[in-house]
Amino acid sequence: MGARRRVFPEAFKREAVERVTSSGLSAGQVAQELGLHETVLRRWVRDLAPQATGPARRPIPQAAVPSPADLAAENARLRRENERLRMERDNLKKSRAHLQSGLPMKFGLVDEHRAVWPVRVMCAALGLSASGYYAWRSRPESLRAQTNLALTDDIRLIHAESRGTYGAPRIHAVLRGHGRRVGRSRIERLMRRAGIRGLAAVPRRPRTTDSRHSYPIAPNRLARNFATSTPNQVWLADLTYIPTGEGWLYLAGVLDMYTRKLVGWSMRETLHTQIALEALAMAIERQRPAPGLIHHSDRGIQYAAEAYRGALASAGITPSMSRKGDCWDNAPMESFFHTLKTERVHHRLYATRAEARRDLFGYIEGFYNSRRLHSALGYISPAEMERRAA
């Protein structure tokens, strides 16, 4: 069966455009982060940017006509930059086998070519520090010490690429995925020695559920049986809050139980039913589930409301609700929000809701769904899990 064509809801497109126009990232960087073709994203920017209303959106200034001297200086700078990039590219081509095999030869590779390329350029391309190279070169070290030094540099690189979130288990999974045979305890030891840490959890805040209403309550059809065999068998839904300098920003999410992908989301200033409906609509548009899917949530008024129950019925989705006050009945969804706050929210101070929206969109679509290794999936990403199931 061929891969299913990706569907991009309007909310996704608007947030992607806002990220280009307001985050300081280029269209190419945002496209790479979200797994898009740059031409597609640029078309969205062309079509949707004039409609953007976010307070942080910057107008694009008209460029002044440069003088001949300015052009000459810029051409010289571009030539230097192109030469640096060429050296990094050529160096990476030569070194890729060493990076993937984990051999303690990266410093040796730098030493071998230091008469051809600058040491700092080669070290940057290999994920090494120049100071580490000079320390290696100035004193004889045992093979084990050289291996540990190279492994620590790889750990730093993986940790940085995870936005500082990965601890030893996920770093071990990444190395194992590259064919590296190294023990998890050794990684833990090297991380402690180098002061590298995954993000730690912080205490949770009160829940946002309001079950004091007279709407009908669906039975607990799931009953904590989270086992699934394909995507779009069980969806979990919940809401949480994000603190900003302007007040709370609320996030509604819909999580696919099989892939652990956040298939639907919405962010608003209030907890009205509309926020939950928008997240559900995104999930339905994106996934096109067959009738019979079970949708599990708590007993909150947003999910028990007539409009929400009607939207589920129209899509052929069967509702299920947790027992009163029992968060464990929706544990995987709670776990997602815990991960989001542990890895992102609790390490940021958002001045505005718009700033929080942009950052959360980048985390959800640019990292969590597409690249973050999930322990419950055997340390692969939700996107990879979905691809394998297609």
| Chain segment 216-246, per-residue pLDDT in tens | 899 999 988 888 999 999 999 999 999 888 8
Residue 295 domain-assigned (yes or no):
yes
- Residues 83-133 have pLDDT tens digits of 665 665 555 555 444 444 443 567 767 766 777 778 888 888 877 888 888
Is there a domain that residue 210 lies in? no
Strands 318-321 and 294-297, sheet pairing: parallel
Provide the number of structural domains found in the chain: 3
283 and 372 both lie in a single domain: yes
Look at residues 299, 94, 338 and name the one whose alpha carbon lies nearest to residue 210. Answer: 299
pLDDT of residue 151: 86
The stretch 43-71 carries a mean pLDDT of 58
**Does residue 26 sit within a domain?**
yes
Predicted local confidence at residue 76, as pLDDT: 67
Q: Is 370 helix (H, G, I), strand (E, B) or coil?
A: coil
Residues 6+ apart with CB under 8 A from 254: 235, 236, 237, 262, 263, 264, 265, 279, 280, 282, 283, 295
Burial 52-65 (b: 16+ CB within 10 A, else e): eebebeeeeeeeee
- Which residue in the block uniquely carries the two structure tokens 């300098």? 245
Beta bridge partners of 240: 251
Same domain, 89 and 151: yes
Domain presence at residue 110: yes
Question: Which amino acid appears at position 367 of this protein?
Answer: F
pLDDT tier at 214 (50, 70, 90 boundaries)? low
> 181 and 328, same structural domain?
no
And the tokens for 127?
């994920």
Distance CA 50, CA 47 (A): 7
Same domain? For 270 and 323 the reply is: yes
Residues 175 and 276 both lie in one domain: no
Among all chains, which residue has been given the structure tokens 């994920």? 127
Q: For the domain that residue 243 is a member of, what is the CATH number?
A: 3.30.420.10
- Does residue 247 sit in the same domain as residue 379? yes
Strand partners, 255: 236, 262
Q: Are residues 188 and 308 located together in one domain of the fold? A: no
Element (H, E) at 156: helix 143-161
Same-domain pairing of 41 and 175 = no
Residue ranges making up the domain that contains 47:
10-51
34 or 63, which is more confident = 34
For residue range 186-203, list pLDDT tens digits in order.
Answer: 889 888 888 888 765 544
Contact indicator for 7, 288 with CB cutoff of 8 Å: yes
* Close Cβ partners of 103 (under 8 Å, ≥ 6 residues apart): 150
Q: Which two tokens stand for residue 297?
A: 């949530």
- CA dist list (Å): 204 to 4, 190, 331, 357: 37, 30, 14, 21
The answer to whether residue 203 is domain-embedded is no
Low-confidence winner among 126-140, 150-164, 169-183, 259-273 (lowest mean pLDDT): 126-140
Say if residue 252 is in the same domain as residue 182.
no
- pTM more than 0.75: no
Q: For residue 223, is it within any domain?
A: no
Strand locations in 6-91 (E): none
Are residues 46 and 80 both part of a single domain? no
Going by C-beta distance under 8 Å and a sequence separation of 6 or more, which residues neighbour residue 313?
none
Q: Is residue 207 predicted with pLDDT exceeding 80?
A: no
Q: Higher confidence at residue 69 or residue 317?
A: 317
Are residues 188 and 112 both part of a single domain? yes
Domain-located, residue 58: no
Question: Residue 286's pLDDT is what?
Answer: 95
Question: Could you read off the pLDDT of 304-335 as tens digits, one per residue?
Answer: 999 999 999 999 999 999 887 666 788 999 99
Q: Are residues 247 and 370 in the same domain?
A: yes
359 membership: H or E segment, kind and range: helix 353-363
55 CB-near residues (< 8 Å, 6+ apart): 352, 354
Q: What percentage of the chain carries pLDDT values higher than 70? A: 77
**Domain contains 134:** yes
- Check whether 77 has a pLDDT greater than 80: no
| pLDDT number for residue 95 | 47
